[in-house]
Chains A and B, each alone.
Chain A
Amino acid sequence: MDHFERLGQPRQHALDRDALETEYLARAAKAHPDKVDQDDASAKRAAMETSAAINEAYRTLRDPAKRAEYLVKLGGRDLDSSDPDVGAPKMPQAFLMEMIEHRERVVDARSAGADALDDLREDVDGQQGDALAEAVLAIAKGDTEAASRHLVVRRYLQRLLDEIDDEG
Chain B
Amino acid sequence: MAYSEKVIEHYDNPRNVGSLNKGDDDVGTGIVGAPACGDVMKLQIKVEDGVIKDAKFKTYGCGSAIASSSLVTEWVKGMSIEEAGSIKNSQIAEELALPPVKIHCSVLAEDAIKAAIKDYQEKNGQADGQAQ
A: which residues have CB within 8 A of B? 79-82, 87-91, 93, 96-97, 99-100, 103-104, 152, 155-160, 163
**With A91-B33, A96-B33, A156-B35 given, can you name 18 additional A-B contacts, CB distance below 8 Å?**
A79-B35, A82-B34, A82-B35, A82-B107, A87-B36, A88-B35, A89-B35, A90-B35, A91-B35, A96-B31, A96-B32, A96-B40, A97-B31, A99-B60, A100-B60, A155-B37, A156-B33, A160-B38
Q: Decide if A159 touches B37 in the complex (CB within 8 Å).
A: yes
CB pair A80–B58 under 8 Å, yes or no, is: no
> Separation in Å of the A154 CB from the closest CB of chain B?
9
Contacts of A158 in B (CB 8 A): 38
- Inter-chain residue pair count (beta carbon < 8 A): 53
Does B39 interact with chain A (Cβ within 8 Å)?
yes
**Chain A residue, CB-CB nearest to B107:** A82
- Does chain A have a CB within 8 A of B104? yes
* Interface mask (B3-43 → A, CB under 8 Å = 1, otherwise 0): 00000000000000000000000000001111111111010
Q: How far is the CB of A79 from chain B (nearest CB, A)?
A: 6
Please indicate the chain A residues that have their CB under 8 angstroms from the CB of B36 in the complex: 79-82, 87-88, 155
Pair B40/A99 contact, Cβ less than 8 Å = yes
CB-CB nearest 7 A-B residue pairs: A159-B38, A88-B35, A103-B60, A96-B31, A156-B38, A152-B35, A96-B33
Asked whether, in the complex, the Cβ of A82 is within 8 Å of the Cβ of B42, the reply is no
- Across the interface, name the chain A residue whose C-beta is closest to B115: A93
Residue in B closest to A99 when the chains form the complex, CB atoms:
B40
B60 close to A163 (CB less than 8 A): yes
Could you write out 12 A-B pairs with CB less than 8 Å apart?
Answer: A79-B35, A82-B35, A82-B107, A90-B35, A91-B33, A91-B35, A93-B31, A97-B42, A100-B58, A155-B37, A156-B38, A159-B37
| Complex CA–CA separation, A158 to B31 (angstroms) | 19
Q: Are A155 and B35 in contact (CB under 8 A)?
A: yes
Q: Which residues of B contact A160 (CB under 8 A)?
A: 38
What chain B residues lie within 8 Å of A163 (beta carbons)? 60
CB proximity of A77 to chain B, nearest CB, Å:
11
Residues in B with CB closer than 8 Å to A93 are 31
CA distance A136 to B33 in the complex (A): 23
Residues in B whose Cβ lies below 8 Å from that of A97: 31, 42
